Amino acid sequence: MNVIIFGPPGAGKGTQSRSLTEYWGIAHISTGDLFRNNIANETELGLKTKAYLEAGRLVPDDLTISMLEERLQEPDVVPGFLLDGFPRSEPQCVALERIMSDMGRKIDHVINLYVSDDVVRNRLKGRAGIEGRADDADLEVIEKRIATYKTQTRPSLEYYRPKGVVHDVDGVGTVEEVFDRIIGALVRT
Ligand code: AP5
Ligand code: MG
């Protein structure tokens, strides 16, 4: 099973991905985590991408797509994978379609977690003190991430709607309630 989890910053993509990948026995691929690991290890990719994450802007598509394509060569994706934070632009949707077709696979489900801007703001402010992410510590960067989501990322959903694979799931509630909603939505298809 190959799944995308979609939603604004702070929607709970990472939180739900951890439970869902364990439940389904599939790989969790977070492009944000991959970038942060590269930045922490000061790799060439990390040096090229640090400024984008710090500003809350999307990393250029070519860098993001080649990183994801490389990650999808690893053996743990064989049973399936959950993409957390990818695709985030129309070119990334098109590239993913090509990569899937090269692999002889397809995207089975897109989980669209929706929450209001105020929920996003509160959750990210709360996380700033816990995870120490640089992009949570600055209110302006949080606003930039919300705006980037609306202008560049949210339109990508329209790429998947006509395929009938999108499940809209309310992201407000306890972590367990949201998890049960996601499982329920997928079972009903
Ligand atoms: P990324 O790491 O993907 O960050 P994001 O999209 O901003 O999303 P977050 O990780 O902040 O939120 P989340 O939805 O995972 O929420 P979480 O579960 O942590 O991307 C970071 C940056 O990398 C981007 O800005 C960009 O620069 C770059 N990037 C990444 N992918 C890219 C791509 N494809 N193309 C180009 N650039 C890319 O939850 C948030 C908080 O809320 C936590 O504290 C959590 O405990 C809490 N919480 C979760 N669920 C609940 C709940 N139900 N109730 C109460 N609290 C909850
Ligand atoms: Mg995340």
SS3 26: coil
Active site (annotated) includes residue 88: yes
Q: Which residue owns the Cα nearest ligand 1 atom 47?
A: 123
Looking at residue 98, what is its pLDDT?
98
pLDDT along the chain (189 residues), means of 10: 97 98 98 98 98 97 98 98 98 98 97 97 92 92 97 96 97 98 91
Compute the distance from residue 103 Cα to the ligand 1 centre, in Å. 27
Catalytic residue among 18, 105, 121, 127: 127
Looking at residue 129, what is its pLDDT?
87
Looking at residue 188, what is its pLDDT?
77
Ligand 1 lined by 50 (C-beta under 6 Å): no
Give the largest Cα separation in the chain, rounded: 44
Cis-peptide into 9, omega within 30 deg: no
Q: Which residue owns the Cα nearest ligand 1 atom 8?
A: 9
Burial classification of residue 33, based on how many CB atoms lie within 10 Å of its CB (0-12 exposed, 13-18 middle, 19 or more buried): middle
Residue of 144, 25, 152 lying closest to 85 (CA atoms): 152
Residue of 77, 80, 52, 54 lying closest to 64 (CA atoms): 52
Q: Which ligand is nearest to the CA of 8?
A: 1
Looking at residue 160, what is its pLDDT?
97
In ligand 1, which atom is closest to the CA atom of 127? 44
User: Cα–Cα distance between 167 and 109 in angstroms, integer?
Assistant: 7
Assign 3-state DSSP to the chain and report helix, strand, coil percentages, each to 5.
Answer: 60, 15, 25
User: Is residue 59 within 8 Å of residue 34, measured between CB atoms?
Assistant: no
Average pLDDT of the chain, as a whole number: 97
Ligand 1 lined by 9 (C-beta under 6 Å): yes
Active site (annotated) includes residue 57: no
